[in-house]
Amino acid sequence: MRTLADGREMPAFGMGTLNLSENEVGELVRLAIQHGYRLFDTSPVYGNERAIGNALMECMQHGLVKREELFIVSKLWITDRNNAEDALKQSLKNLRLDHVDLYLVHYMTPDIVKDSLMVERVSMQEVWSQLEHLRERGLVRSIGVMNCPVIMYLEILTFCHKKPALNCIECHPYFTQEEAICFFKKFGCPIAAYAPIAPSENAKFGCASEKLKNLDLMKEPLIRELGQKYQKTEAQIILNWHMRQDHIVFPGMRAKEHFEKAIEIFEFELSKEDVERINKLNKDARFYDRIQDENYSFIPYWA
């Protein structure tokens, strides 16, 4: 478990649901629950919250899990920032829940006026106070930020009544974000690392630049060497590297064996020296890099 900035506890490990279709996600959520997963990272823009909600409800009705054992994360998308309550209520309806455990602002950006992402002008303070209000009403238990750079986090601290419970940012051995993470930790803000494994599959997602497309952590000689040393798979080595730094992670998984293998990361511990060696793989390589996508013109404000 990890302690959030608001003092609440959150599982350190869970399942991500990006890129999982409505048709496949339900079965995977059921599989995850059977394997002991309790944390699920969702978002309305992933287009699958309804199927996730149905699977969660089914598992609860069959006595596989209780609501209070689950930790469900959802997010406020950019175009909904002027009406967080309606957006959250829609997510709750789809997820078949009366509250989510953590609600994140997907991108805490200033104004964006671009094609499909056309939004009204909403200040960060306004967005955050809507979330604080939702928390006071019990519709969300904790509130946090995502892709939030240091400068924006500092600004939030100037007006917030409740500090962000965590910051969820891209992080993996090719993109260690050491300086930023050190800063957030000093401020008592835990880190959830998205795209934690960053295999080449991510580069094919269409948001990575050409130079990143040949990077593949799973084939990295050091990761392979450590896999042999600890008798673990490459992914287990990478996930343990995250655990050793107190990150919260929720890898995306389709393959059945990945659900079983991931849980085994708690059965061993990389040495401090090996963690340091992995840190040196950093290439500041952001896989979810939409710098060429004009709909994401707020990139300078992205952590």
Ligand X SMILES: NC(=O)c1ccc[n+]([C@@H]2O[C@H](COP(=O)([O-])OP(=O)(O)OC[C@H]3O[C@@H](n4cnc5c(N)ncnc54)[C@H](OP(=O)(O)O)[C@@H]3O)[C@@H](O)[C@H]2O)c1
Known binding residues for substrate are: 106
By CB under 6 A, residue 16 contacts ligand X: yes
Written as six digits, the tokens of 35 are 């394997």
CB of 249 to ligand X, least distance (A): 8
Give bridge partners of residue 13 from the DSSP assignment.
249
Give the amino acid at 125: Q
By CB under 6 A, residue 253 contacts ligand X: yes
Any residues with CB less than 8 A from the CB of 192 and at least 6 apart, and which?
A: 41, 166, 167, 168, 169, 247, 248, 249, 250
Annotated catalytic residue within 37, 46, 103, 107: 46
Give the amino acid at 43: S
By CB under 6 A, residue 288 contacts ligand X: yes
DSSP 195-237: SSS--HHHIIIIIS-GGGTT--GGG-HHHHHHHHHHT--HHHH
Segment contacting ligand X (CB under 6 A): 21-29, 114-122, 254-262, 273-281? 254-262
Written as six digits, the tokens of 167 are 């910051």
By CB under 6 A, residue 14 contacts ligand X: no
By CB under 6 A, residue 197 contacts ligand X: yes
The answer to whether residues 275 and 167 touch, using CB atoms and an 8 Å cutoff, is no
The answer to whether residues 197 and 298 touch, using CB atoms and an 8 Å cutoff, is no
CB of 199 to ligand X, least distance (A): 5
CB nearer to ligand X: pick between 159 and 205: 205
What is the per-residue binding string for ligand X in 33-72, x denoting contact by CB under 6 A?
--------x-------------------------------
194 belongs to the catalytic site: no
Give the amino acid at 236: Q
CB nearer to ligand X: pick between 27 and 136: 27
Segment contacting ligand X (CB under 6 A): 1-9, 58-66, 91-99, 195-203? 195-203
CB nearer to ligand X: pick between 124 and 148: 148
Segment contacting ligand X (CB under 6 A): 3-11, 94-102, 120-128, 196-204? 196-204
Give the residue, chosen from 10, 13, 17, 289, that forms a contact with ligand X under the rule CB under 6 A. 17
By CB under 6 A, residue 76 contacts ligand X: no
* Backbone phi and psi for residue 220, each to the nearest 5 degrees, phi listed first: -65, 125
Task: Report the C-alpha gap between 37 and 14 in whole angstroms.
Answer: 6
The answer to whether residues 178 and 287 touch, using CB atoms and an 8 Å cutoff, is no
Smallest Cα–Cα separation from 254: which of 23, 36, 80?
Answer: 23
Task: Report the C-alpha gap between 224 and 161 in whole angstroms.
Answer: 46
CB nearer to ligand X: pick between 20 and 92: 20
Smallest Cα–Cα separation from 121: which of 108, 130, 129, 111?
Answer: 111
CB of 38 to ligand X, least distance (A): 15
Task: Report the C-alpha gap between 88 and 44 in whole angstroms.
Answer: 9
Give the residue, chosen from 114, 261, 277, 290, that forms a contact with ligand X under the rule CB under 6 A. 261
CB of 47 to ligand X, least distance (A): 13
Residues from 130 through 189 that contact ligand X (CB under 6 A)? none
CB of 280 to ligand X, least distance (A): 20
Q: Give the residues lining the site for ligand X (CB under 6 A).
A: 16-18, 41, 106, 194-199, 201-202, 233, 235, 250-255, 258, 261-262, 288
Known catalytic residues are: 46
